[in-house]
Amino acid sequence: MKQAVKNRLTMLSQNVVAEVTPSNPSLRRWVEVIARSQGGYAVVSFEVSSALDGVNTYLAPGDIQNESTVGAESLDDVLRVLSRMGVDSDAFTVPWETDFPL
């Protein structure tokens, strides 16, 4: 995980995102790491139809597919969760540098 991404999570307690390989070519998959205010982290993965392309697209609850959330106590735990998910931790960046829809 890039140092700037680690700093955003640990020092600023702000989220980071990565677009990763979806389960189906007609979808886009996102993984978000959220620094929880009470401590620890949440690793959230979800997919949306690639037809709903665009940051300003409203996502109805039915638009989000294959959603999962895993809790993690530390950054080391986050890295283990990402590894199990097959997600490269170096892919993470700030949300506004991506097409992150939320």
pLDDT in tens, 5-25: 999 999 999 999 999 999 999
pLDDT at 96: 73
- CA dist 44 and 81 (Å) reads 10
Stretches in the chain below the pLDDT threshold 50: none
Compute the C-alpha angle 85/13/69, nearest 5°.
30
pLDDT at 55: 52
pLDDT at 98: 73
Domain boundaries, the chain: 3-97
pLDDT at 95: 79
- CA dist 62 and 50 (Å) reads 14
Q: Which of 94, 99, 102, 18 is nearest to 54 (CA)?
A: 99
pLDDT at 102: 63
